[in-house]
Chain A
């Protein structure tokens, strides 16, 4: 895609809870991003066919536990330079393994403040790197 034509950055937010979606939307919009929201996998897949995403924040649990991981993997395959963050209810070796194997940039605790998640993801975008800026142990907020 021609970078000159694409001036507005776009974020994908996928979560089954409308109030969480709304909070993330407000936070991304306040930073000048266009926020595309999806409450389920089909809507998220449709969004992937219609937008170019710079950032994605995805819940690890959509319809059932763990179904957000493969979606994160798909986002990474389509947009390899995008920051892909996953909200997860627990931190375990299996969670971290799922993150690595799906190309996720960073995981966050499901209860994280949306502003914190958004600031972290945009900070990563601005430095031109999708590497997490936090220490290994702190990458799980």
Chain B
């Protein structure tokens, strides 16, 4: 990847968002954070391009992170979308599967696993994008 990959981190707990920001900036990502679904939706609607979005599930309301995921999945090019939650249920997990969320991580998050997942998803996304351009 020639450019610095961009990442949006959405979590209503500022400390969690800041920690993830520091972790991913150390990995070479350009990171923006939002502390609410509303803030994330504003960033996504304002033409910011993100290679990946990591969002908490429960913020202003239960499962509202699915709204962030839904908005992100409508973008072109589509970012890799990761849900992070300590409150996974059959209902919200089934909704995430149906929406084709790329990854579901449960809190407490294993940071190495999360870094690997984001890196793999972005490589897969880049390769799939190149294949689509060829066709």
User: Which chain B residues border A9 with CB–CB below 8 Å?
Assistant: none
How many chain A residues touch the partner (CB < 8 A)? Answer: 24
User: A127-141 vs B: 1/0 string, CB under 8 Å?
Assistant: 000111011110110
User: Which chain A residues border B97 with CB–CB below 8 Å?
Assistant: 96, 99-100, 104, 106-107, 132, 136, 139
**Which of B89, B94, B101, B117 lies at the interface centre, i.e. has the most chain A CB atoms within 10 A of its CB?**
B94
Considering the chains assembled together, what is the distance between the CA atoms of A92 and B88 in angstroms? 10
How would you classify the secondary structure of chain B's contact residues: helix, strand, loop or mixed?
helix
A119 at the interface (CB under 8 A from B): no
- Do residues B103 and A101 form an inter-chain contact, with CB atoms below 8 A? yes
Q: Which residue of the partner chain A has the closest CB to B125?
A: A80
* Sample of 9 further A-B pairs with CB below 8 A, known A80-B128, A96-B94, A136-B94: A91-B90, A93-B88, A93-B89, A93-B93, A96-B90, A97-B104, A107-B97, A134-B98, A140-B94
Taking beta carbons and an 8 Å cutoff, which residues of A are in contact with B? 77, 80, 91-93, 96-97, 99-101, 103-107, 130-132, 134-137, 139-140
22 contacts between A and B (CB under 8 A): A77-B124, A80-B128, A80-B131, A96-B88, A96-B96, A96-B104, A97-B93, A100-B93, A100-B97, A100-B104, A101-B104, A131-B98, A131-B99, A132-B97, A132-B98, A134-B98, A135-B98, A136-B91, A136-B95, A136-B97, A137-B90, A137-B94
